[in-house]
Amino acid sequence: MSGARRRERLVGRLAPYLLGLPAIVWLAVFFLIPLALMLVKALQECNPATGVCVMTWHWSSLSDAWTNSSTIIFRSVTYAAIATVIDLVLSFPIAYWIAFYAGRRKNFFLIMLLVPFFVSFVIRTVIWKFLLSSDGLVVHSLQALHLVSSDYQILGTTGAVIAGLAYNFLPFTALPLYVSLERLNPALLEASHDLYAGRITTFRRVVLPLCAPGIFAAFLLTFIPAFGDYVNQQVLGGFGNTMVGTVIQNLFLVNNDFSAGSALSVIVMGISLIGIVIYGRLLGSKSIGDFV
């Protein structure tokens, strides 16, 4: 084999890795290295008064963080899962209509879907606080219709937190669903109808299996940031519905307990990575056609 031929084969083998090098460097710098530093900090013992940390290699800090915050972690998982399911239920019909019925105005409706989210995350959450307050539009309207009592309140409840999560992370669900649906070949739907399949059967046997990767991706993209969120709980919630993101923020910024905060952050990151690993194992390396 000539030298030129060997070089061509070597370049061909290295090409995928070279093309992926920028992404690999990005992940290493902004994900792997911070995660490693956070794990190192979790194995240190820090003095909250001085902020000085000493390496102790006490792995028990992770189990202590889980023991102290397991209830709050499960609560955060529950809130994030409910908000994600709500977003899936709301986003799927919208994404389906835009993908198949919006025609040449698809881009316009997508922009209209995203326009409210050009506003700051915090500002949108504060506006929700005004809407859900005791003298806000929602409660006042329900009282005017005699649907709730005069002392009824939404703000500070679990429902307010979940509603805020569902609203703020809606685009994280809608866009992956739209991309997945837009890639469907309309001829497959026509073929299903030609074979005398009804709309429900076509949706269940054709649309859902082909969109399975997009649905799973939309679930992860919504669930992970909702799981670690603390803004919605602090603005819309109360003491009875504290989420793990709020606990981590207080450990770092209020208590100056960087070791405990890092340990709890590692646990939260580990729970989030479980879903990513499942996605990669089940859907990441398979073609969409494998789910038909």
Please tell me the predicted confidence (pLDDT) of residue 284: 54
Confidence of residue 287 (pLDDT cuts 50, 70, 90): very low
What pLDDT digit, counting tens, does each position of 211-262 carry? 888 888 899 899 999 999 999 999 998 888 899 999 999 988 888 888 888 9
CA diameter of the chain: 88
Cβ-contact 213, 283 below 8 angstroms: yes
Cβ-contact 283, 214 below 8 angstroms: no
Please tell me the predicted confidence (pLDDT) of residue 59: 85
Confidence of residue 51 (pLDDT cuts 50, 70, 90): low
Cβ-contact 227, 76 below 8 angstroms: yes
Q: Which residues contact 184 (CB under 8 A, 6 or more apart)?
A: 99, 207, 210, 211
Q: How far apart are CA 131 and CA 127, in angstroms?
A: 6
As a whole-number percent, the residues of the chain with pLDDT over 90 amount to: 24
Q: Which fold has domain 78-242?
A: MetI-like fold (1.10.3720)
* Average pLDDT for the chain: 84
Query: Whose structure tokens read 């000539």?
Result: 2
Whether 291 shows a pLDDT value over 50: the answer reads no
Please tell me the predicted confidence (pLDDT) of residue 166: 94
What pLDDT digit, counting tens, does each position of 96-145 carry? 899 888 888 888 888 888 888 888 888 999 988 988 888 888 888 888 88
Which tokens go with 232? 């919605």
